[in-house]
C-alpha cells in the first residue's frame, strides 16, 4: 500500500499526564477521528511555567474535520513557518506533539510501522531495523525524587553507571555540573566545576577504557570557563562535551570552544527543524546535533534531519530523549528509519515502573529498544497507567 495518499481527519483531542517524580510529569496528547483511528504524541515540557496543552488545543482546532494527508499540514492549516517555531519553544513542542500524532495515525492508515512509513514517504530503500541501540543517561535518576534530593556524591554517580553497564549498555551519560553557573568569580577553571569533575572520574572508573562516558554540561559555563574545562574533561576520560554553552543562543562562543577542543562537541536539544540543524553544522558550531522529537518537529522532521545531515557529515546526529517511553518509541522509529550511527538517548532509572506506562510494555534488552509489532508507533500510553498515576483532560 502506498504511504502517500492516505488521509486522517481528526475530530477528538484528549490530554493525559503521568506523575513521574518530583517536578516531572510526562504529558501526552491523543488525536482521534471518532471511528477507531487515533495518533499520540508526547508534549512533556522542560519549561515548567508554561503549559503546552492550551496551545495544542488552539492549533488542533484548525485541523478539526480537515483531511490531513501529511504531518506538515499541522503547520499549513495554522499558517506557521519554521522560523516562528525556532523562536518559540512552547509552540514548537505543541507542533511537534501534533505532528507526531498525525504521522502515527497516517502510518496506521497506510498499514505500516512508522519507521517503514517514513522511508516509504521519501523513497528510501530497505527495511529499517526493528531494534535501536540506546545509551543510558543517568541524569534523571540523580535529580530529586518525591522524598527530596538524592545522593549526588561521586560514588552515587559511579553506582548508577555501574547498574547501566551491568544491564548491557556500552555508553553512559551524566550531567555532573548542575551546581555550577556562569559567570564565575575567577577566570580559568571555576572551583564549582571541581565537584563535577570528581563525579566524572568516579563514573569513568566504572565505565572503563573500552566503553564511553558522555558528559552533558547543561549550558552552565561561558567561553572562558568552557575552554578551561575541556582539557580536564578529556583527562578524566569523557567521550563528548555536550552544551558547555547553549549552541542556539551562543553559537559564536561554541564555535570558538569547538575550534580549541579535541573532544567532540554535541548539543542543540532545543532546536526546531532541519534548516536550523543544518545551519549549526555549516557554521562549524557542533560535531554532533541532538534533535529532540518533542521539540524538533516530531518523528518525520527528526528523520529528515538524520537523513540529510548523516549524508553530509557522518556520525553527526544523535537524538536527544530524556523523557517518557512514548517519545523514546517515536525517536526509535525516526532513528531506525534514517539509520543512526550513534546510539539514541534513554533516561534510565528515573522510576522503576517506566516500562508499564506503555501498551505493550516498553522492552529494553541489553541496551537495545525493541520496537513493538504493529502499525504507526506500534504502542500507546496505557489508559490503566494513566488511571493509576495521572489524569486525563480536554481543553
Residues making contact with Mg ion (CB under 5 A): 216, 269
Gap between the Cα atoms of 274 and 312, Å rounded: 13
Nearest Cα to Cα of residue 245 among 213, 267, 277: 267
**Closest distance of CB 74 from Mg ion, Å:** 26
Closest C-alpha among 25, 23, 16 to residue 324: 25
Query: Closer CB to Mg ion, residue 115 or residue 217?
Result: 217
* Residue in the structure block whose three cell numbers are 562516558: 213
Q: Which is nearer to Mg ion, 118 or 265 (CB)?
A: 265
Q: How far is the CB of 244 from Mg ion (least distance, A)?
A: 11
Q: In angstroms, what is the minimal distance from the CB of 139 to Mg ion? A: 8
Residue closer to Mg ion, measured from CB, 269 or 301? 269
Question: CB of 243: closest distance to Mg ion in angstroms?
Answer: 6
Give min distance, CB of 169 to Mg ion, in A: 17
Burial 355-392 (b: 16+ CB within 10 A, else e): ebbbeeebebeebbbebbeebbbbbbbbeebbeebbee
Supply the minimum distance, in Å, between the C-beta of residue 370 and Mg ion: 25
**H or E element that contains 214:** strand 212-216
CA-to-CA separations, 351 to 94, 284, 323, in angstroms, rounded: 25, 38, 12
Comparison of 42 and 216: residue with beta carbon closer to Mg ion: 216
C-alpha distance across the termini of the chain, in Å: 36
CA separation for the pair 226, 373 (Å, rounded)? 45
DSSP 99-134: HHHHHHHHHHHTTSBHHHHHHHHTT--SPPPSEEEE
**What residue is closest to Mg ion based on CB?**
216
Q: CA-CA distance, 157 to 220, in Å (whole number)? A: 19
Give CA–CA dist 59/266, Å, rounded: 32
The distance of closest approach from Cβ of residue 288 to Mg ion in the complex, given in angstroms and rounded to an integer, is 11
Smaller CB separation from Mg ion, 98 or 248: 248
Q: How far is the CB of 23 from Mg ion (least distance, A)?
A: 17
- Report yes or no: 131 and 368 within 8 Å, Cβ to Cβ: yes
Amino acid at each position: 500500500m502506498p504511504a502517500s495518499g492516505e488521509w486522517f481527519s481528526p475530530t477528538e483531542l484528549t490530554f493525559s499526564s503521568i506523575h513521574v517524580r518530583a517536578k516531572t510529569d510526562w504529558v501526552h496528547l491523543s488525536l482521534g477521528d471518532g471511528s477507531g483511528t487515533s495518533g499520540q504524541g508526547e508534549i512533556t515540557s522542560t519549561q515548567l511555567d508554561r503549559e503546552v496543552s492550551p496551545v495544542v488545543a488552539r492549533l488542533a482546532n484548525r485541523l478539526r474535520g480537515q483531511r490531513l494527508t501529511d504531518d506538515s499540514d499541522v503547520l499549513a492549516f495554522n499558517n506557521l513557518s519554521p522560523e516562528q517555531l525556532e523562536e518559540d519553544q512552547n509552540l514548537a513542542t505543541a507542533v511537534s506533539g501534533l505532528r507526531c500524532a498525525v504521522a502515527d495515525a497516517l502510518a496506521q492508515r497506510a498499514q505500516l510501522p512508522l519507521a517503514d512509513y517514513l522511508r516509504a514517504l521519501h523513497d528510501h530503500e530497505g527495511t529499517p531495523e526493528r531494534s535501536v541501540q540506546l545509551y543510558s543517561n543517568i541524569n534523571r535518576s540523580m535529580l530529586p525524587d518525591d522524598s527530596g534530593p538524592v545522593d549526588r556524591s561521586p560514588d552515587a554517580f559511579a553506582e548508577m553507571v555501574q547498574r547501566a553497564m551491568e544491564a548491557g549498555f556500552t555508553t553512559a551519560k551524566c550531567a555532573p555540573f548542575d551546581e555550577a553557573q556562569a559567570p564565575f568569580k575567577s577566570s580559568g577553571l571555576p572551583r564549582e566545576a571541581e565537584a563535577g569533575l570528581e563525579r566524572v572520574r568516579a563514573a569513568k572508573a566504572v565505565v572503563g577504557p573500552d566503553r564511553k562516558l558522555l558528559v552533558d554540561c547543561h549550558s552552565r559555563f561561558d567561553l572562558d570557563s568552557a575552554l578551561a574545562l575541556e582539557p580536564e574533561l578529556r583527562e578524566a576520560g569523557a567521550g563528548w562535551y555536550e552544551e558547555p554553552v547553549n549552541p542556539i543562543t551562543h553559537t559564536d562562543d561554541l564555535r570558538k570552544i569547538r575550534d580549541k577542543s579535541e573532544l567532540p562537541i554535541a548539543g542543540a536539544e532545543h532546536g526546531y527543524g532541519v534548516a536550523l540543524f543544518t545551519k549549526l553544522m555549516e557554521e562549524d558550531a557542533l560535531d554532533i546535533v541532538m534533535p529532540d522529537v518533542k521539540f524538533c518537529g516530531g518523528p518525520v522532521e527528526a528523520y529528515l534531519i538524520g537523513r540529510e545531515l548523516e549524508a553530509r557529515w557522518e556520525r553527526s546526529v544523535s537524538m536527544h530523549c530524556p523523557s517518557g517511553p512514548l517519545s523514546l518509541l517515536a525517536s526509535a522509529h525516526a532513528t531506525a528509519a534514517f539509520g543512526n550511527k550513534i546510539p539514541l538517548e534513554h533516561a534510565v532509572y528515573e522510576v522503576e515502573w517506566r516500562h508499564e506506562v506503555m501498551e505493550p510494555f516498553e522492552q529494553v534488552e541489553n541496551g537495545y529498544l525493541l520496537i513493538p509489532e504493529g502499525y504507526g508507533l506500534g504502542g500507546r500510553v496505557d489508559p490503566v497507567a494513566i488511571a493509576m498515576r495521572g489524569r486525563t483532560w480536554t481543553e
